[in-house]
Structure 1
Amino acid sequence: MSSVLHDAQGPRAKRRNIVFTVVFLAVFAALLWWVFGTLTDKGQLRWVLWKPFFTGTEAWSTYIWPGLQNTLEAAVLAVVIALPLGAVLGIARLSDHRWVRVPAAIVVEFFRSIPVLVLMIFGLALFAEYTGVSSDDRPLYAVVTGLVLYNASVLAEIVRSGILALPKGQAEGAMAIGLRKGQVMRLILLPQAVTAMLPGIVSQLVVILKDTALGGAVLTFPELLASANTMSGYYGANVIAGYTVVAAIYIALNFSLATFASWLERRLRRGKKSTGAVLRADDVETADAGAAGKV
């Protein structure tokens, strides 16, 4: 079956694709078998290493749940601050005033070019040197600061590109009926751009959630991945088991976030469709006849 993107496959192409599929599945199965055998030889699949996650609540209540709480706290704080800040910076980059557009562009390009880990380390030193934040709270503040500065800059570019992707006729038509530029942005452009920007925004939210692990690796922030390191030392070096559980939690969180975003995007698209009733031809004729009679 032909489409806009490609032509229908012929018999040779179909046979070639079947061969490639079989070869890929065979290589993938061999890789899984090698991983399974290696873990078995190293004793990483022994039940004693996996038992704490299935036969009690100590591992969950002592290590995993507190780490998950810290991860979610840092991610939510960063999202709540970065989303509006990124929207403001993205809109500011579209301003007609040079004194607004240029500083916003400098801020966005500067923080977007610095690795988020460097921003976290800088934030930790800043809070230690110039503020009275306690040593227990500094890692959280530093992680949130780094995530906000970097991701707000990326979100600003997502917002700017989403607005610029709209047809110019949208803004021109709104201005033609007398709306000011602020009203055009708030009432016309942003509502339409949100749907187009949603996949990019959700991808960046997933990045924020995962990047909290950098704070645990470098800044001793007790997030989810750091809790797995501590837990593996307590339960006899069950590193593989602990990391597998943590990876499953990350996958569940990110999958839930992506699923919610897909649902929201579908809802927004349905809300933009016309809900007006469609009149049949005889209804139109009846309405016209009634109007003529009144005249």
Structure 2
Amino acid sequence: MYQLLDPSRFVVFITGATSGFGAAAARRYVAAGGKVIATGRRRDRLVELQAELGAENCHIIELDVRDRAAMEKAIAAIPAPFDQINIVLANAGLALGLQPAAETDLDDWQTMIDTNVSGLVYTVRLLLPGLIARGGGHVVTLGSVAGEYAYPGGSVYAATKAFVKHFALAIRSDLQGKNVRVTDIEPGLTETEFSLVRFKGDDAKAAKPYQGTKAMTADDIAESIYWATTLPAHVNINKIQLMATTQAIGAFDIHREH
């Protein structure tokens, strides 16, 4: 019989756990008997999640991954038994705006870089030594199909997700012999709060990408994350790239003079 890992032994540190993939993953791991450290900027959402999952299963930390000093302090203060982290889900990230590069707000670009790149590397770097010291574990990064297939208006967002992909592949080599696996999850069209954040609360704009189609859900992505981390320890899934059945790689964008 194929021996999967026992999820009841998982202690999962999740960034961006207040909604979307992070919240769905927290629910999936706790449902399987694991424990989670749910972090995010919206304390009210974290409190609700902890009430749903139980304080014995879910420890919460109000945290902004862009704040390195706060990250260091929070990680050092995690109480037992939640301090025995063996899975890191570096999920926090966002897209802002969809304007052409020459028209975009530089502050939006900077926020994406600070969150999707700096916040991710702070998370991974600060938690890796603990994984290694405890005998191994798993790092899961949240990339995007945008990291491979760029699109108009997605310049910096796509670039940050390309960084995530190559960062994950590179640290796989750094971790040889350490019993730490690394997987990059690269979702396509998924209906979460992603578009609402991108369009800064504009409900009409946020709904438009999903109109007339069937997008994936946060639970779909959480299940993929869960599957990759429950495979036997000698198996590493380098990346999982998912798209809705109704989404595919588009044609080349060619400008033509009229």
TM score, norm. by length of structure 1: 0.25
Q: Name the one with the larger strand percent.
A: 2
TM score, norm. by length of structure 2: 0.28
- The structure whose Rg is larger is 1
